[in-house]
Amino acid sequence: MRRKASLILLAFAVFFTALSPLIRFYAFPRLAKVPANQYQKMVLEAKGATIMNTQMKVVKTDLSIVQTLRGNVAESEKIEGSGGRDLVVWDGLSYAQDSDGKQVTRIPERYIFDAHSAEPVHAAGEMADGKAVKREGLEFKWPFLTEKRDYKYFDARSRTTNTIFFKGEQNFRGLNVYYFEQTIPWVEVGFPSVMPGGLKPEQFEGTGTEMWYTTVRKFWVEPTTGAPVYGEEIHKEEMRGGSLAGGPGKTKTVFDGHVKMREDFIKSTVDLVKSNRILILLMTSYLPWGFLGLGAALLTLALVLEARSRRPGEPEEESAPEPEPVTA
């Protein structure tokens, strides 16, 4: 009886031990992905920012920036049909307004990326501020199980890819996070498609004025989910030369402010990331290590039962006596 029980326990031990690496290295890479229909909204603030208003005057104001990311399921399915990959298409919009509620700028984006790795995928419709782009590097989200290393990150304003540097680990609102920082040095960029007062970039042609931009971008990323829980940006834009800036060698500030996430959105983001983190840990840590430990315990118990069944001095199980022949 003990031998039968030990064989059953041994079978379960092999099953759970084999299941452990399957969950971690087979199921997790296939099941962990960004949902195609995800919708996110974020509000950022730049208090006391310097901006150029609708009268082309430089003023101080409290700026609010609403960023939305909406999953475009129809477009993702259309692209998946030709590539056979799980893709996500995010239609993004960044809308900035001053303290009087007047629009400062409005920048649309379409970001296409692999649902598992967060790597960009090049397909028709990929754009930033209405201009076709070919992204290299991350944007908005880091990969699951983010590593302690530098990454390439796409900057939508300059439409360039630069290194975003890993600066170390920190504790943010009870979460262990990785801190990343990127600096875009002063670079000439195009005029935004929508400017204060609804001005169009075509209206500035022939003025001889150039637009220049620089920023310091900071992200605090929860490494298990790859989701930023907080971000800041020290953002500057200015006009140089030409009639709009006041003549050769002159400059005029278009935007100068320290952009930060609003407090209520920080809290909601942290709560969401904490719940998603548990789901990822189930597949990468809790279940694999739990099944491995269970397999080891069952194997130990099977060996103990087998050893006891073979212990010397104990009577062996008696077999049923053969029936005696019947005689007439």
Task: For 49-82, write each residue's pLDDT tens digit.
Answer: 998 877 778 889 999 999 999 999 998 888 876 5
| Burial class (CB within 10 angstroms; exposed 0-12, middle 13-18, buried 19+) of 251 | middle
Instruction: Please check the confidence at residue 328 and state whether its pLDDT lies above 50.
Output: no
DSSP 226: T
**Three-state secondary structure of 196-217:** HHHCCHHHHCCCCCEEEEEEEE
Q: What is the pTM of this model?
A: 0.86
Query: What confidence score (pLDDT) does residue 271 get?
Result: 94
Select the highest-mean-pLDDT range: 20-24, 58-62, 177-181, 270-274: 177-181
Question: pLDDT of 199-225, one tens digit each?
Answer: 777 777 778 889 999 999 999 999 999
Q: Compute the mean pLDDT over every residue in the chain, rounded to the nearest whole number.
A: 88
Tokens of 156: 């939508």
Residue 198 confidence (pLDDT) above 80:
no
> 295 CB contacts (<8 Å, ≥6 apart)?
12, 13, 14, 15, 16, 17, 20
Residue 305 host element (H or E): helix 287-309
pLDDT in tens, 219-244: 999 999 999 999 999 999 999 998 88
**Phi, psi at 219, each rounded to 5°:** -135, 140
pLDDT band at 178 (very low <50, low <70, confident <90, very high): very high
CB 78 within 8 A of CB 98: no
Neighbours of 47 (CB within 10 A): 14
> In the chain, where are the structural domains located?
2-21+285-309, 32-261
**Per-residue model confidence as pLDDT tens digits over 130-156:** 899 999 999 989 999 999 999 999 999
Mean pLDDT, residues 265-292 taken together: 92
At 315, is the pLDDT very low, low, confident or very high (cuts 50, 70, 90)? low
